[in-house]
Structure 1
Amino acid sequence: MTQPHPEFHLVRVTRPDYMVLAKELRHRIFVEEQEIPQALDHDGFDLHSMHVLVFADDEPVATGRWREEPETWADLSRIAVLKAYRGNGLGAMVVEALLAWAEEAGMQRAWLEPHAHLEAFYNGFGFERRGEGTEVAGHHLLRMERSLGPI
């Protein structure tokens, strides 16, 4: 398991104020930095998803979520790290937490749709590409899947 700097800590989002922080963080990363239309981030699944936040001291710096789909699939999405904090193992910390949580909940497979340039990162977690991907708001996204359990 990745060991990020000790100043970082991950929490499961169980409080409304943490949900607000996760949405604000996603807005900064997806809408402001990556110029993804806000409507695409607001997909209606937040209330049906399990979210995590990573804090550096008291500042939220990374987030992600997963939600249950039929056939015991876990949909991982909205995984994001503030630009100034990338390269510190926080993305790995989020992915590992989401996968563990989904597995605890009885999910048997997981999928996600990351930016194409992140394919090698997700390969490191056992995800494999399915198909050529799609273009969404000027970003090439891939469909990637894996079984849950040891890789």
Structure 2
Amino acid sequence: MNYHYRVCRAETDAEEADALEVRRSVFVEEQGVPEALEIDGKDDEAAHVVAYRDAEDDSTPVGAGRLREIEDGVGKLERIAVLEPHRGEGIGSELVAELEAIADDRGLSMLTMHAQTPVEGMYRKLGYETTSDEFEEAGIPHVEMEKSLS
């Protein structure tokens, strides 16, 4: 079955709860990240996006991500997650595009992230450059990546 998806900025408590539900499912349940690491107390200072599967009588959250400004002009993309059955359908790229639009609206000139190594190639296609050797975070291999927005 083909679904349509929409990505939006999480502006209500319900939308933020949907984003958190996706993150818990992917990071805590699927990948075994301790909930205390995933729920890090920084959600209130972040902008959130959520992707929904839109089908007749169904609007299920299937993806999420967040953006925090970590220093003047620099944002960090974090917690980008897509539920397993919906991966490979371009949702991750759409989440990143919406987070980049938020960064642009906020006048940020640089974005950085800690990307899990299996999706490093997707981020490269979106213009991100790897800026570190591989390292472990929450027991998962990552690399640091960045992209200039100016």
User: What's 2:102 paired with?
Assistant: 101
User: What's 2:52 paired with?
Assistant: 55
Report the residue type matching 2:139 in the other structure. Answer: G
User: What's 2:32 paired with?
Assistant: 35
Q: Give the CA deviation at 1:138.
A: 2.0
TM-score, normalised relative to structure 1: 0.91
Q: Aligned partners of 2:146, 2:125: CA distance in 1, in Å?
A: 12
Instruction: List per-residue Cα deviations over 1:87-142 (Å, max 9, x = no partner).
Output: 11100100111112101210000000011121111111111111213212321111
Report the residue type matching 1:145 in the other structure. Answer: E
Among 10, 14, 39, the alignment partner of 1:13 is: 10
Instruction: List per-residue Cα deviations over 1:40-97 (Å, max 9, x = no partner).
Output: 1111110000001111021000011101121200110110000000111100100111
User: What's 1:90 paired with?
Assistant: 91
Report the residue type matching 1:44 in the other structure. Answer: G
Q: SS where residue 26 of structure 2 aligns? A: helix
User: What's 1:72 paired with?
Assistant: 73
**Unmatched runs of 5 consecutive residues or more in structure 1:** none
Number of residue-to-residue matches in the alignment:
145
Q: Aligned partners of 1:47, 1:94: CA distance in 2, in Å?
A: 19
Say whether residues 1:133 and 2:130 are aligned partners: no
Q: Which has the higher strand share?
A: 2
TM-score, normalised relative to structure 2: 0.92
Percent identity between the two aligned chains: 34
Aligned-residue RMSD, C-alpha? 1.3
Q: SS where residue 115 of structure 2 aligns? A: coil
